[in-house]
């Protein structure tokens, strides 16, 4: 694993019979709070152990030769002074015997908070995130809205101004779940050009209207986009791109069903259109026939993304929990 890899909690590997080694990363549904990251210093210049009570500024003035009051205050402002390995900016910070004071070569960088997303994994080639419902994956150049793409671009440029982020695939604004971005155009092209071969699994959970009677099913049609950017489904091969969706009922009641959905193809709005085709629109999806807003958001979550790593060749699997409102709304009603 390279030095800057960042697996999420629960990251582990396992072997499946007759299959490549597979890495798994499970993450909880992202919270509403921003994710913040702190990059610490490398090799410190000097380190001191506190022998008696003192304020930080006076301690530094008495122990560091050739450095004036203003220089020390500047280092404090830049986060270069650490007490017990934590950056301190207050000049009158009360030191206690046993405290360790470190003067670092480099500043402590407090990275920009990430809103509506959490990084599940990162290495030199890719970043995998868990995106919340309501956050755009990417916007047009004319739009100034906060997006996953813009936030991740800022995030990587804080480490190196020359670093960039490249879009590999997208999730609709109101769809939550696992997404992957590339860190170079070369990796982006490799993933996009071999997407069907490199992606081993794309599993969604969908909360749909009504009780689906068949426990499993496959929906096949051809999808085409109209001038208003809405997708339409056809049974005729010459009227769009082939789309195949497999589903399995996880649980249901008389009003809602929770489905596990696997995509054989990855067309725009594919699950949403196909659920409308079978008369069970995704909850909250007014565009494709939904009549209810039972959970205050679109009932679609990208739960699993498994793919062959573009440079390492190993299969990596990233999984998130089913959103609790999906489970609660579709829970079977107990009868006594």
Q: What is the pLDDT of residues 264-287, one digit of tens each?
A: 988 999 999 999 999 999 999 999
Q: Where are the domains of the chain?
A: 12-37+112-330, 38-110
pTM of the shown model: 0.70
Determine whether domain 38-110 maps to CATH 3.10.290.10.
Answer: yes
Buried b (16+ CB within 10 A) or exposed e, 131-146: bbbebbbeeeeeeeee
Whole-number pLDDT of residue 106: 67
Q: What is the pLDDT of residues 57-113, one digit of tens each?
A: 999 999 888 788 888 888 887 778 888 888 887 788 888 899 999 988 765 555 568
Better-predicted residue by pLDDT, 213 or 71:
213
Residues serving a catalytic function are 172
Residues 6+ away with beta carbon under 8 Å from 180: 126, 127, 128, 129, 168, 169, 191, 305, 307
Q: Taking the mean position of all CA atoms in its chain, how far away is CA 47?
A: 38
Q: Output the CATH code of domain 12-37+112-330.
A: 3.30.2350.10
The CA–CA distances, whole Å, from 190 to 6, 206, 266, 310 equal: 22, 30, 17, 7
Better-predicted residue by pLDDT, 110 or 159:
159
């Amino acid at each position: 694993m390279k030095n800057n890899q960042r697996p999420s909690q629960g990251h582990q590997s396992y072997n499946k019979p007759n299959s490549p080694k597979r890495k798994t990363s499970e993450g909880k549904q992202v919270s509403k709070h921003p994710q913040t990251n702190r990059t610490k210093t490398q090799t410190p210049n000097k380190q001191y152990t506190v022998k008696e009570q003192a304020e930080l500024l006076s301690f530094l003035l008495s122990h560091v030769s050739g450095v004036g009051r203003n220089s020390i205050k500047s280092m404090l402002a830049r986060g270069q002074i650490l007490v017990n390995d934590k950056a301190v900016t207050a000049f009158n910070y009360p030191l206690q015997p046993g405290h360790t004071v470190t003067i670092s070569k480099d500043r402590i960088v407090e990275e920009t908070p990430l809103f509506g997303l959490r990084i599940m994994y990162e290495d030199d080639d890719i970043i995998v995130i868990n995106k919340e419902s309501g956050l755009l994956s990417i916007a047009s150049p004319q739009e100034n809205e906060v997006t996953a793409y813009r936030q991740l671009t800022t995030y990587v440029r804080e480490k190196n101004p020359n670093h960039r982020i490249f879009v590999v695939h997208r999730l609709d604004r109101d769809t939550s779940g696992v997404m992957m971005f590339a860190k170079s155009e070369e990796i982006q092209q490799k993933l996009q050009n071999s997407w069907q071969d490199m992606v081993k699994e794309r599993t969604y959970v969908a909360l749909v209207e009504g009780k689906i009677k068949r426990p499993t099913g496959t929906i096949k049609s051809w999808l085409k986009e109209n001038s208003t950017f809405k997708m339409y489904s056809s049974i005729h091969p010459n009227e769009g791109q082939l789309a195949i969706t497999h589903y399995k009922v996880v649980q249901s009641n008389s009003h809602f069903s929770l489905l596990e959905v696997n995509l054989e193809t990855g067309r725009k709005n594919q699950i949403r259109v196909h659920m409308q085709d079978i008369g069970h629109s995704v909850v909250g999806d007014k565009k494709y026939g939904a009549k209810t807003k039972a959970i205050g958001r679109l009932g679609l979550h990208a739960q699993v993304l498994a793919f062959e790593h573009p440079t390492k060749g190993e299969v990596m699997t990233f999984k998130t929990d089913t959103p609790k409102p999906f489970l609660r709304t579709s829970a079977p009603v107990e009868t006594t």
